[in-house]
Structure 1
Amino acid sequence: MTTASRAGRPRASSRETLAEAACELFLEQGYEATSIVDITRRAGVSRSSFFNYFSSKSDVLWSEFDARIDAALVALARVGRGADGQTVRDALRPILEGLAPDPLALAMRNASAMGVEAELIRDTGLRHARLASAVAATARSAGIEVIRADILGSALATAVLSSLRVWAEQGAGQATLDEKLDEAMRSVHDLPWG
């Protein structure tokens, strides 16, 4: 069953339909009050279809971004002992390159209305930890001592995630995501690889 708001529009993929339905419901009734059953009912798909695309309600927001982080982790692992600042930044840049407004950006922009503030803080922390750990491991393999490597990993992970958050919160028509990332990377300049 589709909602009246979908009339006349071509049917998107189930993944897109589920994400759209989830975001609509988060805005209408809040994140905590929205169940997976609510989302599947609104999207007009089965509960099993939901789990074909997402592992949890939170995954609706983060799945595309997580795939980008996964690719960056692979790129960082390939850099190896020859890592320098530019190669690490080049491995991180695709996380945000070409990222269009999506459920995560919508949630960041409308966190209060959707009731996802605590969810975003917790889940951003998990992504930060993954990125920081990978960058720090790359730095250590390139000969940077442990504490400086950890600081560098944290700083670059923060640069990526802060760029995304600020871009999403400012909304369309403001600075581009690339501009935000460049600004954040310049802030890390005084650290090794700067």
Structure 2
Amino acid sequence: MREVLAQAAFQLFLERGFERTTVDDIVARAGVGRRSFFRYFPSKEDVVFPDHERCLAEMTEFLAAVGDEDPVGAVCDAARIVLRMYAADPEFSVQRYRLTREVPGLRTYELSVVRRYEQTLAGHLRGRFGTDRDGELRAEVIAASVVAAHNNGLRLWLRSGGAGDPEEAVDHALDLVRGVWGQPAGPSPAREKPALPATAGASGVTAGSGENEVIVMVAAKGAPMWRVVQQIEAAVGEG
């Protein structure tokens, strides 16, 4: 019934346009009642994306079953589940792509669906990277990168009218993501402190002047702050 309603809706969208098609028109074309429509779709917009709930559930199930050894590879593989959904029905996928380009409201709705995929991927990565600041950041950035790469390859295929192999462009884009993010980020290398030519004074103020700058380091243990500031000002003035 879900497929029957989606097919009836798209026939009408193509004939009349999205805005001029009502739910009553859709159920009349499908030969069912309004209750049947709302049993499967909360709104007319949802009938344009009839397969995303199932796809999100499949993605969540897949990620719950994968191991911990390659989290970036896992989310890239999860994104391919979405690709296979589109590739399973090229004609419908191309029609939907063209329709969402024409109707701003559908484009907004589609972006909300894409965001749900991104959140699902980020949630999986957060569980692997930890909840510290960098782990959270890496999860969000990698998830966004995976979604952007997947969508770039997918839209190339959709813009071609569904010609050729959709996996080729998507695999190329996802391989780029894996190349960038596949290895866990290590700690930042320690930076060598520049040598300061001047010697420390009694208050622990060290000053060294370069061609266009003055470097001042304060190590004034127990010295009054006003004295430290005074000697810093004197050092800067001399430099």
Q: Normalized against structure 1, the TM-score is what?
A: 0.77
- Residue 123 (structure 1) shift: 2.1
2:12 pairs with 1:30? no
Counterpart residue type for residue 131 of structure 1: Y
Q: Supply the AA of the counterpart residue of 1:182.
A: D
1:76 equivalent among 63, 87, 110: 63
Distance 1:140 1:15 in 2: 34
Deviation at 1:51, TM superposition (A): 2.0
Match of 1:183 in 2: 172
Q: Map 1:18-57 to 2 at 5 A.
A: 18-57=5-44
1:156-193: CA deviation from partner (whole Å, max 9, x where unpaired): 12233333333222113x23221232122134244312
Shift of 1:37: 0.4
Following superposition, the deviation at residue 146 of structure 1 comes to 1.9
Aligned-partner SS, 2:50:
helix
Aligned equivalents of 1:121, 1:47: Cα separation in 2:
25
CA contact (8 A) 2:126 2:139 kept: yes
Higher strand share: 2
Partner of 1:148: 138
Q: Distance in 1 between matches of 2:24 and 2:109?
A: 22
C-alpha separation in 2, matches of 1:36 and 1:24: 13
By relative contact order (CA 8 Å, sep 6+), the higher-ranking structure is 1
Q: Scaled by the length of structure 2, what TM-score is found? A: 0.64
> Is 1:120 aligned to 2:109, yes or no?
no
Write the distance in 2 (CA, Å) between the matches of 1:127 and 1:16. Answer: 19
The amino acid of 2:112's aligned partner reads: L
Partners in 1 of 2:6 and 2:127 — Cα distance?
Answer: 39
Number of matched pairs: 177
Structure number with greater Rg is 2
SS in 2 for 1:63: coil
In 2, the alpha carbon distance for the partners of 1:145 and 1:53 equals: 38
Listed as ranges, the gaps of 5+ residues in structure 2 are 184-239
Provide the C-alpha distance between the structure 2 equivalents of 1:38 and 1:128, rounded to a whole number of angstroms. 28
C-alpha RMSD of matched pairs (Å): 2.4
Is 1:164 the counterpart of 2:154? The answer is yes
State whether residues 128 and 158 of structure 1, in contact with CA within 8 Å, keep that contact through their aligned partners in structure 2: no
Which residue of structure 2 aligns with residue 85 of structure 1? Answer: 72
Q: Where does the alignment leave 5 or more consecutive residues of structure 1 unmatched?
A: 1-13
1:110 to partner: Cα distance? 4.3
From 58, 81, 98, the equivalent of 1:109 is 98
